[in-house]
Structure 1
Amino acid sequence: MKTLDQIAAELQGYDPAALHAATAGEFLARLVEPLRETERVGIFDALDRVLAEDVISPIDVPPHDNAAMDGYALRAASLADEGDTVLHVVGTCYAGDARWAHAVPPDGCVRIMTGAVMPEGLDTVVPVEFVRSEAGQRVCIPAGVVQAGDNRRLRGEDLMAGRAALRAGQRLGPAALGLIASLGIEHVSVVRRLRVAYFSTGNEILSLGEPLREGAIYDSNRYTVYGLLRRLGADVIDLGVVRDEPVALEAAFRRAAAQADAVITSGGVSMGEADHTKALMRRLGDVAFWRIAMRPGRPMAVGRMLDDAKTSPTVLFGLPGNPVAVMVTFLAFVRPALLRMMGARDTAPVLLRARSTQAIRKKPGRTEYQRGIVTRTADGVLHVRTTGNQGSGVLRSMVEANGLIVLDHNRGHVAVGDEVDVMMFDGVI
C-alpha cells in the first residue's frame, strides 16, 4: 500500500497549499481501493448495490419470436405491391398461449395480441388500426402500411443465452432489477455495503433538542451527510457532535475507525481553527491537509487511519464546516471516492451543458461550483441561472438549486449565452 507521500509524488504539480480540483480527484482515485467482500442478495435487496460479478443470461430474451403489438400476423410475401390485400383470419393467438399449432395458408393470417408467440412461418404483424375487418372473417390491408419483419420481436434480440446481461461494477437501479428478474434470476452477487461513520466537530455546534444559546448554531451537516450517504446506498453510522477537545475527539476517531470503512468529519480543518482535530488526525493516521483551489470548500483533509483489530485502514475525509462547502466537497470528491470503494465502475459525476442566462464573474485559477437552477426552453435547449447569493453558509440556496454550475480552473468570466457545465442533483441530493 502506497503512503500519501508516494501518491503525491506520482501527481504532476501536486501542491497541498494550492491544489487543483482535478488533482485532488486523481489523488483520491489512487488513495481508495474497492472492497473485496461480497454477498448474495435477493433482487428486492439489490437496489443501489454494486454487482461483484457479471450476470450471465441463462435464457434468450425474448425466448421466442413474438408480436410487438396487437394486430394480425402474416407472411410479408402475401402482401400485394399495389392495392389492397385481403386475407382470411384463421384464428387468434393470445399472450401466454403455446405456439400456434396449425398451418396457416398463404392467403391466411392470425389475429395476434402483444407478446404472443408468432405462428410458424409468419414474419410480420400489421397493427390492428391499419386494417379493415370484414365481419371478423377477413381483413383488408392497404398497400405499404407495413414491411417485412415489422412489429415482430426476434428471439434473443434483447439478450442471448450465455452472454453478459450486466457487468461487474454496475450499480443496480430499478431498470437493472427488472432486467435480472426477466432472466428468471432471484439472487445476485454484490459487493457488501460500504460502512461510513460521520460526526460534526466544534464547541459551537448544537444537536437537535438542545436549547439554543448565544454564539451557537444547530448542526445541519450531520443530516445533510446522512442523506447523501443513504442516497449512495451506504450503511451509515452517526457519531453525533463531538466537542473540540482532545479526549473526546480521539475517542470518536477510534470508535469510527473500528466500525467503518470510511469516516467523514465536518469542521476543524481550516487554517484558523483550533488544531485539536488536525493534530489527532496526524497522530492517528497518514493524513494530508489540503487547500484546494476551489470555491466553496477550500480546506479539506484526506488520509487513512489504522485500527489494530482491522486488516485494512479506514479512509478519512475531513470536510469544511460551512454547510454548502460540505455538500460541494462531498459531491466533487467524496462521492466518487466512495463509489470506487463500493466497487462501482462509473464514479465520475455526469456533467450536462447549459447556456447561462446571466453573466457570472469568475477569476481563472480556481474551480468554482455555483448553485444553479436549470430549465428547458420550448425548443429543448437547457438554460441555467444562479440562485443568487453564493455564500458557503447559505444553505437555502442548495434547496432552491437543482444542480451545480461547474466553472473549471482556467475559465474566466461567463457571458450571457455562454455554455457551462452543470452537475445535476437528481437522485443525489
Structure 2
Amino acid sequence: MAQLSDDCFAFGGPMMSVDEAVAIIASRVGAVEEIVTVPLQEADGRILSGDIVASLALPPFTNSAVDGYAVRSDDLPSRKEAAFPVSGRIQAGASADEAIKPGHAMRIFTGAPMPEGAGTVFMQEDVRLDASGKVVLPPGLRHGANVRPLGEDIAAGTVALERGLRLRPQDVALLAAFGLTRVEVRRRIRVAVFSTGNELVSPGDVRKPAQLFDSNRFMLMAMLRRLGCEVSDLGILRDERMALAQGLKKVAGTCDLILTSGGVSTGEEDHVKAAVEEVGKLVLWRMAIKPGRPVAMGIIGGTPLIGLPGNPVASFVTFVHVVRPTVLALSGARPEPLMPMPVRAAFTYRKKIGRREYVRVNLRKAKEGAGFEAVKFPREGAGLLSSLVDTDGLVELGEAVTQVGPGQTIGFLGYADLM
C-alpha cells in the first residue's frame, strides 16, 4: 500500500484554487509499487509500469501500400505512358523471391513485400492492360509512391509507449503488433468507499419517510471503476463520531485510498472532520469551486482519505478535480489534464470573480455557422441528479470570468472525458 506522510496535504491558504489542489496532489502522492503481468486481452485501461521498446521495426519489411504494379524507380515514365511486361506476381504473406528486371513490372498486392530493385507502385486503378498483356503505366509518378518503407511507422529499438500510460485500445494494438502476449502494469489501486448520514439508506433497504436512498456511493464507485480501481463498498456509516472513527481506522491499511461522501461541511451533525482527527490527521480544504467547495483531505495510518460533499452534483464535480488526479497519481499514471473544447454559449450567466464554476449544459448544432453551442440546464442546485442525467457535460468558467453572454466562446467538458 502507498504510505503517505501525515502532512502531505497541508496547505496554508484560506481558499484553494482548483489548480493548486491538483498541483499538491500530483507532487505529493506516490504511486503503488507492485507490478503485475496481465494478458494482452486484459491490458486495456491498465497503467504501464515501464517503457515499451520496439522489439522490431513497424512495418518489419518494405511493402506495398496498394494493389497495383511495382517497377524500378529508374524505369518510371516521365513524359508519356509506357508499356511494361509483367514478369511476376506477389501476394500479401508471400515472399518476393526474385528481383525485378529492368523494364519490367510485377503484379503486387497491399501488404506484400517489395521485390528487390523495385521502388514505386502504380495503383491498379491508374493503369490498363494492352492487347498483348503488358501493363500501361501513366507518367508523372514519383519515386517511392505507394510504398511503405521498413520502419516507416516505428523504428526498432525506440520507445514506442512510455511508462505511466493508461493503455487504450490503440495502444493494445501496438503491443500486439510487436508480438507481445503479456504486459507488465501497475496493480490496480484499491479504494474503500462509504457514505455518511443518518438520513441515508441503501437501495433495497426499508426507507423511512424522512430518509433518502443513497445514490452518491454508487455513482462514485462507478466512476472509480471507470478509472480502473478495485472498489470495496463499505456501505453507510452513521453520524456518530466514534463509529465513524472506528470504521475509518479499521479500513485504513487495507486499501490505497478511502473515499467518503457527506459530512464534510461545518454543521453540528457533520462528524467526518472530528472522526478523522480522532484516528489520523485531516486538512479541510475550502476550494474556490462551485459546486463543491468543502473537501476533506486526510491521512489515516499512511492511507489517504478524501471526503466529498454530500450533494450529488458537488460530489461529481469535486471527484473530477480531486479524486481523479489522486487516483491517477496513486496508480502511477501520467497526469491527464482536462482539455475543454471551445463552444459558443447559448445562455446568459453571472458568477463571482476568483471562483471556478461548472455549469451543466447540453450541446447542439449552432443555428448559424459551423460548430456547437452550449445550452444551460434550466434549473440549478447541487442536489439535482437530473441535471447530470439530462445533460451532455459541463462548461468550465475560469476564476477571472464574471459573466457569460450568448455567442461567447466557452470551454466544454463532455462527461466521457472526465473519467
Instruction: Provide the TM-score with structure 2 as the length reference.
Output: 0.94
Q: Residue in 1 aligned with 2:190? A: 195
Q: 2: CA distance between counterparts of 1:360 and 1:318?
A: 30
Render the CA deviation track for 1:308-344: whole Å, top value 9, x for unaligned: xxxxx11111000011111100011210121011111
Q: Residue in 1 aligned with 2:350? A: 361
Q: 2: CA distance between counterparts of 1:184 and 1:287?
A: 48
Q: Residue in 1 aligned with 2:130? A: 134
- Aligned residue for 2:101, secondary structure, equals coil
Letter in 2 for 1:60: A
Q: Residue in 2 aligned with 1:219? A: 214
Matched, 1:421 2:411: yes
Q: 2: CA distance between counterparts of 1:387 and 1:136?
A: 72
Letter in 2 for 1:383: E
Letter in 2 for 1:248: A
Q: 2: CA distance between counterparts of 1:393 and 1:56?
A: 49
Q: Residue in 2 aligned with 1:388? A: 378
Q: Residue in 2 aligned with 1:22? A: 19
Q: Residue in 1 aligned with 2:45? A: 48
Instruction: Provide the TM-score with structure 1 as the length reference.
Output: 0.92
Q: Residue in 2 aligned with 1:260? A: 255
- Aligned residue for 2:285, secondary structure, equals strand
- Aligned residue for 2:157, secondary structure, equals coil
Q: 2: CA distance between counterparts of 1:57 and 1:374?
A: 41
Q: Give the gaps of 5 or more residues in structure 1.
A: 307-312
Q: 2: CA distance between counterparts of 1:135 and 1:170?
A: 57
Contact 1:7–1:30 at 8 Å: present in 2 too? no
Name the CA shift for 1:53/1:94 in 2 (closer, same or farther; >3 Å): same
Q: Residue in 1 aligned with 2:319? A: 330
Q: Which has the higher mean CA deviation after the structures are superposed, 338-347 or 322-331?
A: 338-347
Q: CA deviation at 1:213?
A: 2.1
Q: 2: CA distance between counterparts of 1:161 and 1:302?
A: 46
Q: Residue in 2 aligned with 1:407? A: 397
Q: 2: CA distance between counterparts of 1:67 and 1:323?
A: 56
Contact 2:242–2:275 at 8 Å: present in 1 too? no
The 5 Å alignment of 1:18-417 reads 18-98=15-95, 100-134=96-130, 137-144=133-140, 146-306=141-301, 313-375=302-364, 380-417=370-407
Render the CA deviation track for 1:62-81: whole Å, top value 9, x for unaligned: 11001112111112332222
Render the CA deviation track for 1:280-311: whole Å, top value 9, x for unaligned: 111221211122221101211012110xxxxx
Q: Which has the higher mean CA deviation after the structures are superposed, 71-80 or 56-65?
A: 71-80
Letter in 1 for 2:110: T
Q: 2: CA distance between counterparts of 1:5 and 1:143?
A: 70
Q: 2: CA distance between counterparts of 1:113 and 1:392?
A: 60
Contact 1:205–1:241 at 8 Å: present in 2 too? yes
- Aligned residue for 1:123, secondary structure, equals strand
Q: CA deviation at 1:260?
A: 0.9
Contact 1:221–1:266 at 8 Å: present in 2 too? yes
Name the CA shift for 1:296/1:56 in 2 (closer, same or farther; >3 Å): same
Q: 2: CA distance between counterparts of 1:196 and 1:380?
A: 44
Q: Residue in 2 aligned with 1:8? A: 11
Letter in 2 for 1:142: P
Q: 1: CA distance between counterparts of 2:379 and 2:195?
A: 25
Q: Which has the higher mean CA deviation after the structures are superposed, 235-244 or 125-134?
A: 125-134
Q: CA deviation at 1:106?
A: 2.3
Name the CA shift for 1:135/1:260 in 2 (closer, same or farther; >3 Å): farther
Q: CA RMSD in A?
A: 2.0
Name the CA shift for 1:273/1:355 in 2 (closer, same or farther; >3 Å): farther
Q: Which has the higher mean CA deviation after the structures are superposed, 80-89 or 175-184?
A: 80-89
Q: 2: CA distance between counterparts of 1:66 and 1:147?
A: 17
Contact 1:57–1:163 at 8 Å: present in 2 too? yes
Name the CA shift for 1:51/1:386 in 2 (closer, same or farther; >3 Å): same
Q: 2: CA distance between counterparts of 1:375 and 1:286?
A: 47
Q: CA deviation at 1:183?
A: 0.4
Q: 1: CA distance between counterparts of 2:277 and 2:293?
A: 19
Contact 1:336–1:349 at 8 Å: present in 2 too? no
Q: 2: CA distance between counterparts of 1:117 and 1:158?
A: 16
Contact 1:232–1:428 at 8 Å: present in 2 too? no
Letter in 2 for 1:35: V
Contact 1:228–1:428 at 8 Å: present in 2 too? no
Contact 2:70–2:119 at 8 Å: present in 1 too? yes
Contact 1:67–1:116 at 8 Å: present in 2 too? yes
Q: 1: CA distance between counterparts of 2:370 and 2:165?
A: 30
**What is the aligned length?**
415
Q: Give the gaps of 5 or more residues in structure 2.
A: none
Q: CA deviation at 1:373?
A: 2.1
Letter in 1 for 2:235: G
